[in-house]
Amino acid sequence: MANETAIVDLDAIRRATLSDEPYPFFLGREFLREEAIGDLRRDFPAITKPGFLTVDRTVLKGRFRTLIEELEGPAVTDALSEKFAMDLHPFPRLTTIRKYSQAKDGRPHTDGQSKIMTILVYLNDDWPEGRAGRLRVLRGPERFDDMIEEVPPTMGTVFGFLRRDNSWHGHMPFTGERRVVQVAWLRDAKELERKKKRNAFAQVLKGIFRR
């Protein structure tokens, strides 16, 4: 039976089509329940720096904290394990939050080998067609127009994919507010700690150079 107080709707993952070309991914809609959206807008962290911040370096409150708890909970991992036909429970998670993008962000990349899979949950009210900042599933790193799918970063959109050597993705350069939560399942705890330390160091540098 569905949890009537839950923020995420796991059926958004279950009913999304799983594509295999050029790598395994799905694009889901209405992942966030309509009745929770106003609270999520209100409780989104007051982030002032660009880039992704780990949740342990972010002040979480209210319903947004509940969202993070649900994303890191076993039910989401269950749904994704079923979707991709692999058990993700043994792998540690790294959850990060972004509020602002810079022009240098979004270059085509595949993610490092430390990642098993990733989901992105978007929390922007609107994103017009053709606007930069829309993630694309790419066939290769050379051209943004050589794409399989385009992901609108609008409220409740969820995008998940397995990391592969050809899991190219990225978006056209965009500067400004672009709200997203990313959860990545990593190969082991050492990779998790390494990424947390690297993220913390990067945020220190950004603080220095923004002064």
Q: What mean pLDDT, rounded, does the chain reach?
A: 92
Residue 91's pLDDT is: 96
Measured CA to CA in angstroms, residue 46 lies from 58, 64, 97, 182, 198 at distances of 9, 12, 11, 17, 22
DSSP letter at 17 equals: P
Task: Name the band, by pLDDT with cuts 50, 70 and 90, for residue 189.
Answer: confident
pLDDT at 205: 46
CATH numbers and ranges of domains, the chain: 11-209 (2.60.120.620)
Task: Give tens-digit pLDDT for 94-131.
Answer: 999 999 999 999 999 999 999 999 999 999 999 998 88
**Alpha carbon distance 201, 183 (integer Å):** 20
